[in-house]
Chain A
Amino acid sequence: MPQVSEEISESAAIGSVVVGGRARVLVSGETAEVRRTTVGHWGWPIFALVVIYALVGANFGSFTLGSNIIVFASATVFLGVAVFRRPEPLPSGPRITRRGTLTWTVVLGTFTALELVNFFLGSTSSHPTLSILMAPILQNYWARAAALFIWLGFGVELVRR
């Protein structure tokens, strides 16, 4: 079982929910806010690995063997972790309301519609999709490294769930 807190023993903790980057640990029916130690912190080794991988990966431009290897090697590792890692039982957390679902549906639906319209209009300079917009930015080494870091970081957060 992962360490919950230095102050609260593992046996005393009966559950936890994550609220705004911190964990609320239920102790004998009462709620105590402690530093989030079980989720949210990558740890320095993973952080350093992701930074180095992004800096190395950014050297490879699109349509190269190197860029394909960088993407598919990390995808294989992350998918492997997601498949074979025994997921921790997470508490249900705050309930997502119908209004919340509707808000996200409208946002994602608008984005998808915009992308589709621009795509079917030829994905040109006057009707650019996100790919067209990002292409010149990702030609810069540091922007590419930052984007690669964000993509990998998102992957780390996904497989931790």
Chain B
Amino acid sequence: MIHALSILVYAASSLGVVVLGRWPRSRVPSVEQLLGKIMSTRTGRTITLAFWVWIGWHFFAR
């Protein structure tokens, strides 16, 4: 029960923020805008890519 509810909360909140960012005239930046901003610096690129590698390793390799 807790598992299903947790997955539902995670999925709904993720979808909510993505939709909110893409909503016309929304003041909340979309995921693309946010990543574009973060990836514009070398530090941001390094941290984001390192985090991406860790996600893959964590969920698929261990």
- Would you list the 6 A-B pairs with minimal beta carbon distance, nearest first? A100-B29, A75-B53, A161-B39, A67-B61, A71-B61, A71-B56
- In the complex, A125 Cα to B1 Cα: how many Å? 10
Interface size class of B (residues with CB under 8 A): 20 to 34
Number of residue pairs spanning A and B whose beta carbons lie under 8 angstroms apart: 101
Residues of B near any A CB (own CB < 8 A): 2-3, 6-7, 10, 13, 17, 20, 22, 27-29, 32-37, 39-40, 45, 48-49, 52-53, 55-62
* CB closest chain-A residue, reference B38: A161
Question: Would you call B27 and A97 a contact (CB within 8 A)?
Answer: yes
A residues 72-102 near B (Cβ < 8 Å) are 72, 74-75, 78-79, 82, 90, 93-94, 96-97, 99-101
Q: Is the interface of B mostly helix, strand, loop or mixed?
A: helix
